[in-house]
Structure 1
Amino acid sequence: MSFTVARLTRRATFANLRHVSPVPPETAPVRVRRVYDQVERDFGLLAPPIALHAAAPELLAAAWCILRETLLVSGTTSRREREAVAAAVSAANACPYCVEVHQAAVRGLGRRGAAPPSLPAVLSPELIGVAVDFHYLNRMVNVFLRDSPLATVPAPLRGGARSVAARLLGGLAGREAVAGQSLPLLPGTVGAVRRLPDDLRWAAGLPHVAAAMTGAAAVIEDAGQRSVPPAVRQLVRECLVDGAAPGDLAGATDWLNSRLAGLPSADRATGRLAMLVAFASYRVPDSAVAAVRAEGHDDAGLLGLAAWAALTAARRHGDALATAYEAAA
């Protein structure tokens, strides 16, 4: 059943992709194909939020590892609770694509008429992992996918399509994955001993999540060093730490421009896109991506820039959630 669904949905995987070229399974290099195969096996279909990374195979593996080990692997929380956190974080980040997918999964996993599970005031480490992952994925999806997985479905048919999607996603989400099986896809992760950074301390009691997060963070940081100038990385980090950014960064033109004015002129297009991804990914205009393209970024470079900004922001959110958890303990 899941194999059939995976094969039938492959074409739709790339239908809503923006700004980067698709990498179809039939022509994918071996490193990409290995990730695709595990995604289809464990998730049930080739999820577009993962497949959008395929032009940069190391980022593809990183994105899949943190999604799989936080959302799919069983623990003290139910898959429905984890999906509810994914949907709630996606709503907070104004990511309509992910809201639609994960609300459908919550409905599909519940009894008929059952309300979504209530979110705890303070998230446990397992749920912090899901939240961090979706703070990352929402930002990538807002840039590289269209607003809805049903965007190509005619409007009169979308109500029925949503009902079908809920049943499909609920069925696929009913399975649980074995911890750690994605880690061999991430070079240097298996057998590696990495210090857990302070902003990932919430994962200390979850070895598979800690390994996935530290391995993925190393890969994405390396991509950021190649794609994001040092001055831009410093600016994004400073703005995340000082918390001075307006709630809607894209609407605060003067604030954004004043921060970007301190960058070398050659870094401002990259800086604008990095800041928008970190703070207001739902408002990234095509022109911001085009300006970075004009500076010479290929698909891998564009993905590396966005991934670095997205994960840097996600880790900051995780740190705040960990602080709340510690205070409540």
Structure 2
Amino acid sequence: MLAPPVALHAVAPPALAAAWAMLREALLAPGAVERDVREVVAAGVSQVNRCPYCIEVHGSALAGLLGGADARAVLVGGLAELRDARLRRVADWAVHGGPPPFPAEHAPELVGVFVVFHYLNRMVNVFLPESPLPPVPTPVAAALRRGAARLLGGLARTVVVPGEAPGLLPPAPLPADLSWAAGRPHVSAAFARAAAAVQAAGERSVPTAVRQLLAAQLPRLDTPPPALGEPTWFDAAVAALPVPDRAAGRLTLRIAFASYRVTDDDVARVRAAGYDDRALVELAAWSSLAAARHLGARALPGPATR
């Protein structure tokens, strides 16, 4: 299914291929980790990024895979209420971090899902509505969620062949910050090639000063942001940019640090600065993946355990 979170990249074909390759090889292709565990990571990361669209989709997929009380808990946003202790531990890691509750050989798939959803959540928060479901009364919405769980759970059981997506992009070396992917060739190829494609897109569409600014600020992702308002450093960081780059800088920082706070005005300012559809998507893709890669590189702070 070429779902909207992937299709929104269509105006920028290399970014489209990158998004699809990462998603397909980390989440959809079979491997050492069961699909329900991977869907828990997707849903947990989506909660962290306040992405209601992805919470709806991947919570429904997880509910469709699980059934029973755990399915009902997921549909009302209750990952912490999962009865399956294995899934609950993975959900807690995806949301709160800490030592990974899985063996090292599972890292390529689980950190891969972690990274691709930190990426996709940001893109979805910028470009898509809050829900894939139509606005309907609460009783109807509950029925729609049950139907979505059946549909998406069935789709999640579809078996695909690992390693077919990376061929959409040219070969590239695996960067050091993606070394967690090295144990699974189809995952490492997808992320290495995607990283190269998105980096090229950023060099094409994101001003050098803005790329340098975000690179310098990324370590701030390691500490929780303020609950309300812009962080204290934000406006000063944007003001330090050359005037022509400030609109792009503001949007880039917001995507990386709080994509749920991106406004129509943020996007309109970038368009007024001369960005067409492709350049806008490439800027968002570069910002999103820069943040996701940084977070992924810090997702394994201690030894993996079963």
Taking the TM superposition and a 5 Å limit, the aligned residue runs for 1:115-264 are 115=82, 117-120=87-90, 121=93, 122=100, 124-125=106-107, 126-153=109-136, 156-186=139-169, 188=170, 192=171, 194-241=172-219, 243=221, 247-248=225-226, 251-252=229-230, 254-264=232-242
The worse-fitting range, judged by mean Cα deviation, of 243-252 and 303-312 is 243-252
Q: Which residue in 1 is equivalent to 2:79?
A: none
Q: Number of aligned residue pairs: give it.
A: 279
Alpha-carbon displacement from aligned partner over 1:208-262 (angstroms, at most 9, x marks no partner)? 1111001011110111011111110011111113558761487126421111111
Conservation of the 8 A alpha-carbon contact between 2:225 and 2:231:
no
TM-score by length of 2: 0.86
How big is the shift at 1:324?
Answer: 3.4
SS in 1 for 2:299: helix
Look up the match of 1:69: 25
Q: Does the 8 Å CA contact 1:66/1:212 hold for their aligned counterparts?
A: yes
| Partner SS, residue 164 of structure 2 | coil
Helix, strand or coil for the counterpart of 1:324? Answer: coil
Counterpart position of 1:40: none
Looking at structure 2, the residues matched to 138 and 244 of structure 1 have their Cα atoms a distance apart, in angstroms, of 18
Structure 1 segments unaligned to the other structure (5+ residues) = 1-44
**Separation in 2, partners of 1:321, 1:248:** 21
Inter-partner Cα distance in structure 2 for 1:243 and 1:167:
36
* Structure 1 residue corresponding to 2:64, chosen from 108, 114, 117: 108
* Cα deviation code 1:178-234 (max 9, x no counterpart): 111112222x1xxx3x33211100011111111100101111011101111111001
1:290 is displaced (CA, Å) by: 0.2
Q: Aligned partners of 2:281, 2:31: CA distance in 1, in Å? A: 31
SS in 2 for 1:119: helix
Q: Which of the pair has the greater relative contact order for Cα pairs under 8 Å at 6+ separation?
A: 2
- Percent sequence identity is 51
Aligned partner of 2:254 in structure 1 is: 276
Out of 288, 291, 299, the position equivalent to 1:321 is 299
Matched letter for residue 108 of structure 1: G
Q: Residue 56 of structure 2 aligns to which amino acid in structure 1?
A: E
TM value normalised by structure 1: 0.80
1:287 to 265, 272, 279: 265
Find the counterpart in structure 1 of residue 77 from structure 2. Answer: none
- Structure 2 unaligned regions, length at least 5: 71-81, 94-99
Partner of 1:22: none
- Name the stretch that deviates more: 234-243 or 114-123: 114-123
Alignment of 1:13-92 (within 5 A): 45-92=1-48
Instruction: Note the C-alpha offset of 1:155.
Output: 5.2
